[in-house]
């Protein structure tokens, strides 16, 4: 189980300490930082509107790809690890 990087909570949802006002769990590359989902795509709790997974596993945090270059799901349009 991961913890919010701003307050240490193990839950997902509102966080008064986060700049996005939601808990951010960055430790688990298998789950969305904002809601805990293991899928990629739309996320109602993400300030970006899409799931962003934790860093690690040498995968893009936006789509899960291990390649480099452009990423259709990234706000910056490139894969981010």
Question: Which residue ranges make up each domain of the chain?
Answer: 1-81
What percent of the chain has pLDDT above 70? 100
Flag whether pLDDT at 25 surpasses 80. Answer: yes
Buried b (16+ CB within 10 A) or exposed e, 28-41: bbebbbbbbbeebe
Q: What rounded mean pLDDT belongs to the chain? A: 93
pLDDT band at 1 (very low <50, low <70, confident <90, very high): confident
What token pair was written down for 69? 């270059």
pLDDT for 57: 82
CA distance 46 to 30: 16
Confidence of residue 4 (pLDDT cuts 50, 70, 90): very high
- Tens digits of residue pLDDT in 38-68: 999 999 999 999 999 988 788 999 999 999 9
Give dist(CA 10, CA 66) in Å, integer: 28
Are the CB atoms for 12 and 23 separated by under 8 Å?
yes
């Amino acid at each position: 189980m991961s913890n919010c990087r701003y307050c240490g909570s193990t839950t997902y949802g509102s966080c008064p300490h986060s700049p996005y006002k939601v808990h951010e769990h960055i430790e688990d590359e298998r789950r969305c930082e904002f809601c805990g989902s293991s899928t990629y795509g739309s996320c109602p709790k993400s300030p970006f509107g899409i799931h962003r997974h934790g860093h690690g596993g040498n995968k893009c945090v936006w789509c899960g790809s291990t390649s480099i270059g452009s990423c259709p799901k990234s706000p910056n349009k490139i894969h981010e690890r």
